[in-house]
Structure 1
Amino acid sequence: MSDVMAMHIANGIVDAPVSALFAGVAVVALAVCVVRGRADLDDRLAPMAGLVAAFIFAVQMLNFQVLPGVSGHLLGGALAAILVGPWVGALCVSTVLVVQCLLFADGGLTALGLNITNMAAIGTAAGYLLVVALLRVLPTTRTGLTVTAFVASVVSVVAASQGFVLQYWLGGTTELALPTVSLTMAGVHTLIGIGEGLITATTVATVARVRPDLVYALRRFRRPVPMTAPAAVPVAGGVA
Structure 2
Amino acid sequence: MHVPDGFINAPVSAATGLVAAGAVAVSLRGARRELDERTAPLAGLVAAFIFAVQMLNFPVAAGTSGHLLGGALAAILVGPFTGVLCVSVVLLMQGILFADGGLTALGVNITDMAIVTTVVSYAVFRGLLKVLPRRRRSITVAAFVSALLSVPAAAVVFTLIYALGGTTDVAIGKVATAMIGVHVLIGIGEAVITALTVGAVIAVRPDLVYGARGLRQRLKLRVDGELVDAATDAATPARPTAPVSRRKVWITGLVTSLVLAGFVSFYASASPDGLEKVAKDQGIDQRAKKHHTEDSPLAGYGVKDISDARISGGLAGVIGVGVTIVAGTGVFWALRRRRTADASPASLPEGV
Q: TM-score, normalised by structure 2?
A: 0.61
Match of 1:23 in 2: 17
Q: CA RMSD in A?
A: 1.4
1:24, 1:136 → 2: CA distance? 34
Match status 1:34 vs 2:40:
no
1:137, 1:206 → 2: CA distance? 23
1:24, 1:71 → 2: CA distance? 31
1:78, 1:132 → 2: CA distance? 12
Match status 1:175 vs 2:181:
no
Match of 1:235 in 2: none
With 20-29 and 138-147 compared, the bigger mean Cα shift is at 138-147
Which one of the candidate residues 212, 227, 230 is aligned to 2:233? 227
1:39, 1:191 → 2: CA distance? 35
**Which contiguous aligned blocks of 4+ residues in structure 1 show a shift greater than 4 angstroms?**
223-226
- For 2:73, the aligned partner's letter is L
- For 1:74, the aligned partner's letter is L
Aligned length in residues: 221
Which one of the candidate residues 57, 65, 86 is aligned to 2:59? 65
Shift of 1:174: 1.5
Which one of the candidate residues 61, 66, 73 is aligned to 1:79? 73
Deviations along 1:110-140, one digit per CA (max 9) or x if unpaired, are 1000000001101100000001100001123
Q: Which runs of 5+ in 1 are unaligned?
A: 1-6, 229-240
- For 1:161, the aligned partner's letter is A
Shift of 1:224: 9.0
1:61, 1:139 → 2: CA distance? 35
2:106, 2:38 → 1: CA distance? 30
Structure number with greater CO (CA < 8 Å, separation at least 6) is 2
Give the secondary-structure state (helix, strand or coil) at the position aligned to 1:65: strand
Residue identity (%): 58
With 58-67 and 81-90 compared, the bigger mean Cα shift is at 58-67
Match of 1:135 in 2: 129
2:198, 2:170 → 1: CA distance? 38
Which one of the candidate residues 12, 37, 49 is aligned to 1:55? 49
Which one of the candidate residues 102, 110, 116 is aligned to 1:116? 110
- Does the 8 Å CA contact 1:158/1:193 hold for their aligned counterparts? yes
1:17, 1:117 → 2: CA distance? 15
1:141, 1:206 → 2: CA distance? 15
Q: Which runs of 5+ in 2 are unaligned?
A: 219-231, 235-352
Which one of the candidate residues 187, 192, 195 is aligned to 1:193? 187
1:66, 1:216 → 2: CA distance? 30
Shift of 1:27: 0.2
2:31, 2:233 → 1: CA distance? 33
1:146, 1:41 → 2: CA distance? 22
Match of 2:140 in 1: 146
- For 2:168, the aligned partner's letter is T
Match of 2:37 in 1: 43
- For 1:92, the aligned partner's letter is C
- Does the 8 Å CA contact 1:140/1:218 hold for their aligned counterparts? no
Deviations along 1:63-90, one digit per CA (max 9) or x if unpaired, are 1112233211000010011100100011
